[in-house]
Chains A and B, each alone.
Chain A
Amino acid sequence: MQIPNYGQRGDVSINMTPMIDVVFLLIIFFLVSSHLAKQEANVKLDLPVAKTGIDNSLDRPQLTLNILEDGSWMVAGQWTSRDRFREIARQRLTTENGILRVKIRIARSQPYAKLAEALKLLNEEKIGDIVFGVYESRGGT
């Protein structure tokens, strides 16, 4: 009978190939899932174009309000009434200790009255850090 020799430790080797395979698949999984999560927060909208836009640094807590083509409001993928948005903004302002940036993403075709309505609400809630979502201007368009 052949007796297995377990005493030889020097022969043990780690096969790297399946480990790299698995690690790589995990990286892809997390990249894709985070990408999809971002897409969910950012509803597809035809935003205005600007030349002086800057990159969103996300250096402070941010609440994104989407004003869609039909004039309805959406926050984090959920249809939101004006009163509900006011409530959300108040809650976030409390939890973030008064530091909150509100990003307004509005469809470019919407009349200014729709933007003014949101601005007025934020003004009433004493939120002054407001930014507008815009697309980068391409070649002066």
Chain B
Amino acid sequence: MKAVYHRDNSRRPDVMMTPMIDVVFLLLVFFLATASFDRVEQILPSGAVESAQQPAAGGTATPTEPKATDVDEIVVRLAMNGTSMEIFLNDQSLSTPEELLARLSALIKIRQDVPVIIDPVPELPTERVIEIYDQIRGVGFTSLYLTTQ
């Protein structure tokens, strides 16, 4: 009778390292290749571009509560004073961007579809223009225009 010899494999499992290293290496390459270490880029939609003609800014500034008839268009002028930015809302000087946002928040309650024209001076860094543009969009205005003079 032929004796059957059983190897006792239970104590020392035969782990095959080569395919495991293959798979681990492939997984490593896969995750390294697909991972993106760049900052997330988004888009900021623009309404349209106001042509070179300067929009007529409202004559006398009205610091009191705005009326519905006052808001045919809003002109936000951005100027430079040394390194700091000056903000004018319909020719009325504002001290901070927060003040501009407060005024605009009051205006949007009257009319939402009023066009907002942003008129920056050419030397103002784009970063500041986009910052104000973004903040006005955040208030809820959708018709935003940039002047290109």
Contacts and interface: CB of A to CB of B under 8 A. Distances in A.
Interface SS of chain A: helix, strand, loop or mixed? mixed
A133 B127 CA distance: 12
B51 A123 contact: yes
Given A31-B30, A108-B130, 9 more contacts: A49-B127, A50-B44, A51-B134, A52-B138, A53-B44, A128-B49, A132-B43, A133-B43, A134-B134
- The list of the 5 closest CB pairs from A to B, nearest first, reads A53-B42, A113-B122, A108-B127, A48-B130, A50-B134
A106 B22 contact: no
B139 to A, nearest CB: 10
Contacts of A135: 39-42
Contact of B124 (A49, A111, A131): A111
A34 to B, nearest CB: 10
For chain B, what secondary structure do more than half of its interface residues adopt (helix, strand, loop), or is it mixed? Answer: mixed
29 contacts: A21-B22, A24-B30, A25-B26, A28-B26, A28-B29, A28-B33, A31-B33, A47-B41, A49-B131, A52-B138, A55-B42, A108-B130, A111-B122, A111-B123, A111-B124, A112-B122, A112-B124, A114-B126, A119-B49, A119-B146, A123-B51, A131-B44, A132-B43, A132-B44, A132-B130, A133-B42, A133-B44, A134-B134, A136-B42
Interface of A: 17, 21, 24-25, 27-28, 31-32, 35, 42, 47-56, 103, 106-117, 119-120, 122-123, 128, 130-136
